[in-house]
Amino acid sequence: KAGVTQTPRYLIKTRGQQVTLSCSPISGHRSVSWYQQTPGQGLQFLFEYFSETQRNKGNFPGRFSGRQFSNSRSEMNVSTLELGDSALYLCASSSGGGISYEQYFGPGTRLTVT
Amino acid sequence: GQNIDQPTEMTATEGAIVQINCTYQTSGFNGLFWYQQHAGEAPTFLSYNVLDGLEEKGRFSSFLSRSKGYSYLLLKELQMKDSASYLCAAPAGTALIFGKGTTLSVSS
């Protein structure tokens, strides 16, 4: 079974631009979560989607948004990029809707904002 | 809200045993996860505890005390490949709230 895939793996953008990251979950998984990882703050939850609906959202500004498609693939978008948005963005999928389900992480997208 | 604390760094030698502690404060308890993350790689699942006590999986064991808001990950017979960051996480709804991770360095 293929794992979680994320594209692109690396990205360099300038301040003020916007960016879209993509995540393909493990086949059959309907829940997709997004996290931001930085050295100072660690892993922070952005949002979670299940069957195309956002079920949970972390404490991030409205510049961060996401969506999920009918095939469970998900995208996240960051508009008006700031230097502080430089981070590793991780996507994770899980099979069920319950909180005890193990999350499988993708390799991440390394975003650098200059 | 949720608050999860764990030590920032730990060092140990090959063959030794190390215990990584995690204390948590959560509004409602729904279990505790441990993940391992090697540098430059994705986090991978190690364990999930929802009941008090010790759960053993080979060289790794995880302990939970709900009354004390405390968990630990025990790594036995340390190997160089165990050098990684170990992340404690608690569910909050359908999200996982992570501690900042403990970087473990294993030396020979």
The string of pLDDT tens digits covering residues A50-83 is 999 999 999 999 999 999 999 999 999 999 999 9
Burial (CB count within 10 angstroms: exposed 0-12, middle 13-18, buried 19+), residue A37: buried
Nearest beta carbon to residue B45 from set A4, A31, A102: A102
Confidence (pLDDT) at B94? 82
Phi/psi class of residue A51: alpha, beta or left (left: φ > 0; alpha: ψ in -120 to 50)? left
Considering only CB atoms, which chain B residues are within 8 Å of A90?
42-43
Locate A40 and state its tokens. Answer: 């100072």
Q: How confident is the model at residue B83 (pLDDT cuts 50, 70, 90)?
A: very high
Alpha carbons B76 and A7: distance in angstroms, whole number? 37
Q: Does A55 touch chain B (CB under 8 A)?
A: yes
Q: How confident is the model at residue A98 (pLDDT cuts 50, 70, 90)?
A: low
Cβ atoms of residues B91 and A97 within 8 Å: no
Confidence (pLDDT) at A89? 98
Nearest beta carbon to residue B42 from set A97, A102, A105: A105
**Mutating which of A6, A38, A43 best tests the B interface, going by the most B Cβ atoms within 10 A?**
A43
The string of pLDDT tens digits covering residues B18-51 is 999 999 998 777 789 999 999 989 999 999 999 9
Q: Is the dihedral of CA A1, B47, A49, A80 positive or negative?
A: negative
Alpha carbons A18 and B55: distance in angstroms, whole number? 45
